[in-house]
Structure formats: structure tokens, C-alpha cells
Structure 1
Amino acid sequence: MASNHEMVKVVGDRFCVPYTMELFVKQKIQWLSSSRYDVSDTTGNTLLRVHGGVWNLKRRRVMTDPAGSPVITLREKKPISWKQEWRIYDGESSDLNHFLFRVKRSSGFRINNLDVYLESRGEQGAGDFQVIGNITSLSFTVRRENSIIAEVSHSFTWKSFIGRERFKIKVNAEVDYAFIVALVVIILENNNR
């Protein structure tokens, strides 16, 4: 089925599919030392994993494919900062030649709102993408200009109290789902601080 939408490729075109995807993200905090996110499709197939330490001052997370190969690395620029800026690199690199995009909190008062700046642009005005969130439900949308390209909803259960969260993501056709998962992880990491 062909898509009428423009392809949104940020991490890579292998993560852009010609149909709307429904994904599930499960967050697991293990022994207060590490955090893991497992991303699966509706049939339970693991598509991506994100690993990192909970109390790691460098605030570094690595997204891998099911075989364990690094896809991207998420690094918080200044861990002790109100703005909470993250920089995302291809693979496990932190080299500027592998820089993909930057994510910043839109405003100090809008906790779940983020602006995303692609590597080719500066930080003038609004970002290339916006994440608009609802703090009470942990649900949010990812927008490009005035179009919603992904929607995220939180499933609150008793397991949420023990560090096991579950999120449902609806990603539009031709939209890079690894990019959307990275934004979900950043929102959760900012909120877990």
C-alpha cells in the first residue's frame, strides 16, 4: 500500500514502513541500577531495545536492534540543567560527524513539551518537530508543522508503581519509528529525574 505522506526519515529509512504501525514500549527499572526499554510490534516481535543506567551521571542510553547492534546513542548534554537537552548520534558514537538531532524542553514550565532540531538546522524559532504532552496522563503527540505524525498513550497499571511502565505508540506510515521511540525514551528519562 503506497503512502500519501512525505517520508520522515531521521534515524534511517529502514525504520520507515509504508503502513501505520502500532508499537508497545515496556520500561523496566532493574534494581535501581539500570533501565531498559523493550519495543515490540502487535505480534510481540522485539524491534528495538534501549539500555542505560538509572543513576548514571552521564545520562547515556543506547538503542539496539534485536541482534544487539547499536542503532543510536542518546546523551543528555548537561545532566544537571533545567532545560534538559539531549543529543542523538548514529550508532554508539558521540562524534559530531555522526550527530543526528537535538531535543530540548520547549519551556521550563512545560515539562512534557519538547522541540526537536535536526542536524542540518540551528535552533532559531520552533524546532523541526514538536512533542506536545499531557503531564497527568503521560500521553503525547509528535508533530511536524501542523500534522500529527505519531501518538503515544500510557497504560497505567499496578506494575507502574514498581518501575514497569507500558506505552502504546501509533506511528503514521513512512514515519521513522526509531526516531519516535527515541522521543518517548527522552520524555520518560526527563520525567524519571
Structure 2
Amino acid sequence: MNPMAALGGILPLPAPANAYTPPTNPIVVIGEQFLAPYPVELKIQQKIFTLAENNFDVTDVNGSLIFKVKGKLFSIRDRRILLDAVGNPLVSLKQKILTVHRRWQVFRGESNSSDDLLFSVKKSSFLQLKTTLDVFLASNTSESVPDFRIKGGWHESGCTIYAGETIIAQMHRKHSLQTVVFDTDNFGVTACPNVDYAFIVTLVVILDEINADRSGDD
């Protein structure tokens, strides 16, 4: 599928060509249409004054909408849906309750069937001074070694996403007068070339959900 068609003719602008080294093989988890041969810069911003909590808009460097993240209205807070710019559901994010490692599962479309499971994310250990999340593809049933890993600080001002020892994306929290006054979340995300940036956005949203849930309440 042509990425331009998938995003309604809008593609994130490239960062400088020498900023990142592309992975040896493309990393595709959600879809090949979310690959680019250059670093992709995105902004994830929480929408304020919404009835459903933790809704996000994901835009490119020009402010053009790329993705939306929504929770179901009046539902419990453990379900999110990633949609494309025109509202088509891409994946569903669901937290498994009563798990000590705060496991989230991600399914294709709006499904919650095990047949449509793409990957899951959980804390690497119960007690952590610095957040580390392990990411397992659905095919990795043994989960002896994570396929990807997310590492971030206590206040989560930033995080780095790895495939093995290779950095595939980075996130940093952005602060402005609006984010201070309204306590909103505003993230800058850079996905390396040939890395599925819809996958990266989903991981950052899950990281934010897990950090917001440190009190232990589901």
C-alpha cells in the first residue's frame, strides 16, 4: 500500500538524512504503510476538556493529523483505540487487569480475539526505579527474551525504544505554558528510518498509561 494513500496524501517530513542509521531489516508490526526511508518526527498531544479520558492527537511537524487515540466513552480506562487520520481503527490497546506487571495487549482493528493479537507490553519487573517495559510479539509465545524494550526515567521526561541493542525510536516530553496549566501530556517522538511509526506511537501511549497508573489502581 502506498503510504501517501494511507495517510490521505500527508506524510511526516524527514529529519536530517544523517541523523539515524536505518535498521538492517524494516521493522513492521502494524503495517508496511507506516514505514518511511527517513526519520519520522511526530508530536503526541493529549486533548483537554474531553469526556473520555486520555484522548490523544498525533501530528506531523507541520501540525497535520496523522493518528488519533481514543478511549471508549464512559468505559473503564483500560481500553484505547489507535485510529488513522480519517477515523479508521488500526489497533486496540487493552490492559489485562489483576496483573502485577501491568500487561497491555494490542490487537488488530477493534478486535480482542487472540487470533488478532499483535504484541503485548509489560513491566520487566514489579519494583522499578526506572521504568523498563518488555515488548513481545504474538509469535514469541515463550517470552523468554523480549522482541523490543522501552527504557525511561522515573519522571518519564524521555524514553528510548530498542530492538535488541539497536535504538529504533526515542521520545521526549515537551513542556509549554499550556501543559503546565492544564497538566496535559505533550510528547515528541522520532522513529528511525524503516521502523513502523504506528507501532512506536502505540508503545509511547502504553508507556504513558503505565506511568499514570503507578498508584496500583486499575
Partners of 2:101 and 2:125 within 8 A in 1: yes
Alignment partner for residue 145 of structure 1, among 164, 182, 186? 164
Partners of 1:5 and 1:173 within 8 A in 2: no
SS of equivalent to 1:182: helix
Structure 1 counterpart of 2:174: 155
Q: 2:74, 2:162 → 1: CA distance?
A: 31
Q: Which moved more, 1:113-122 or 1:103-112?
A: 103-112
Q: What amino acid sits opposite 1:121 in the alignment?
A: N
Q: What amino acid sits opposite 2:167 in the alignment?
A: I
1:126, CA displacement in angstroms? 2.7
Alignment of 1:45 with 2:64, yes or no, is yes
Q: 1:103, 1:51 → 2: CA distance?
A: 19
Q: 2:141, 2:132 → 1: CA distance?
A: 19
Identical aligned residues as a percent: 31
What TM-score results when the alignment is normalised by the length of structure 1?
A: 0.90
Q: In structure 2, do the counterparts of structure 1 residues 52 and 98 end up closer, same or farther at CA, with 3 Å as the change threshold?
A: same
After superposition, the CA RMSD in angstroms is 2.2
Alignment partner for residue 95 of structure 1, among 110, 113, 118? 113
What TM-score results when the alignment is normalised by the length of structure 2?
A: 0.81
Q: 2:23, 2:131 → 1: CA distance?
A: 30
Structure 1 counterpart of 2:192: 172
Structure 1 counterpart of 2:28: 9
Partners of 1:49 and 1:66 within 8 A in 2: yes
Q: 1:88, 1:23 → 2: CA distance?
A: 21
Residue by residue over 1:88-109, the C-alpha shift from the partner in whole angstroms, topping out at 9 and shown as x without a partner, is: 0000011112110010111122
Residue by residue over 1:138-176, the C-alpha shift from the partner in whole angstroms, topping out at 9 and shown as x without a partner, is: 300000010000000011234334232211111100100
Q: 2:146, 2:162 → 1: CA distance?
A: 10
Q: What amino acid sits opposite 1:89 in the alignment?
A: F
> Moved runs in structure 1, 4+ residues, more than 6 A?
none
Q: What amino acid sits opposite 2:106 in the alignment?
A: I
Structure 1 unmatched runs, 5+: none
Q: 2:164, 2:90 → 1: CA distance?
A: 26
Q: Which has the higher strand share?
A: 1
Q: What amino acid sits opposite 1:96 in the alignment?
A: S
Count matched residues. 192
Structure 2 unmatched runs, 5+: 1-16, 214-218
Partners of 2:23 and 2:194 within 8 A in 1: no
Q: What amino acid sits opposite 2:24 in the alignment?
A: H
